[in-house]
Amino acid sequence: MCLQGGASVQQGLSAAVEFVRFGWYRLAADKRYSLERMNPTHTGELNSFAEVALGFCAWCEEPNLDAEREVTAAAWLAKLYAAALLLPSVEPENSDGLPDLPAVELAKAKSNLAYFNGTYYRECFDPDPTLAEAPVIGDIGDDLLDTYKDIKAGCVLLNRGQPIEALWHWVFLHRIHWGHHAAGALFALHCLSISKRE
């Protein structure tokens, strides 16, 4: 999903989503996901988020990340965060926890996202102005990798034919973990890179 030949970020994202959309529906047909227990509107929301989730993971695993990585990373994080806000809450069907991630794909993501490692920024875990919390140091590389791991785990569950589990993990971890990392990295990318572009 890299942007080559001067393609814009929007063109790259559109191409990625189209590719993933085709793959998602093909997977859904092949795996015969059992969504009957879900509210029909939830199925549409799950499909929409899955397209973005699969596209984001494919970008993280892509061996040749594009030249404007900061802009593309910010665009993916914004799409993920926005799509997650529309996901419905569901109850998990089991308590198995998150699945192990495919080792080869995880290694690719770690290698590709290492470009962002050491891109530090200041943040407060709780921005409530009534608190006297000192800022801490965040790392965009760590944020992206943590976001990838949580999103990828849901994709693994989806691929196993467990859409309700995938949905529950995406929503729950958005609230307590990857949402914080995504929002922090997006703000940092905006301040450190995007706002300084000519």
Mean pLDDT over all residues of the chain?
A: 82
State the average pLDDT over residues 152-179: 95
Residues 80, 146, 184, CA angle at the centre, nearest 5°?
65
Give start and end residues of each alpha helix (H) in 114-177. Answer: 140-159, 163-176
pLDDT at 65: 65
**For residues 94 and 42, is the Cβ–Cβ distance under 8 A?**
no
Tell me which long-range contacts 89-98 makes (C-beta under 8 A, separation of at least 24). Answer: 89/171, 90/38, 90/42, 90/164, 90/167, 90/168, 90/171, 91/168, 92/164, 92/165, 92/168, 92/169, 93/162, 93/164, 93/165, 94/165, 96/165, 98/150, 98/153, 98/169
In sequence order, the 6+-apart residues with CB closer than 8 A to the CB of 138 are 120, 121, 122, 123, 184, 185, 188
Write the pLDDT tens digit of every residue in 57-98: 999 998 766 778 999 999 999 999 999 999 998 888 877 788
Q: Are 60 and 114 in contact (CB under 8 A)?
A: no
Say which residue, 142 or 1, is predicted with more confidence: 142
Residue 5: is its pLDDT beyond 50?
no
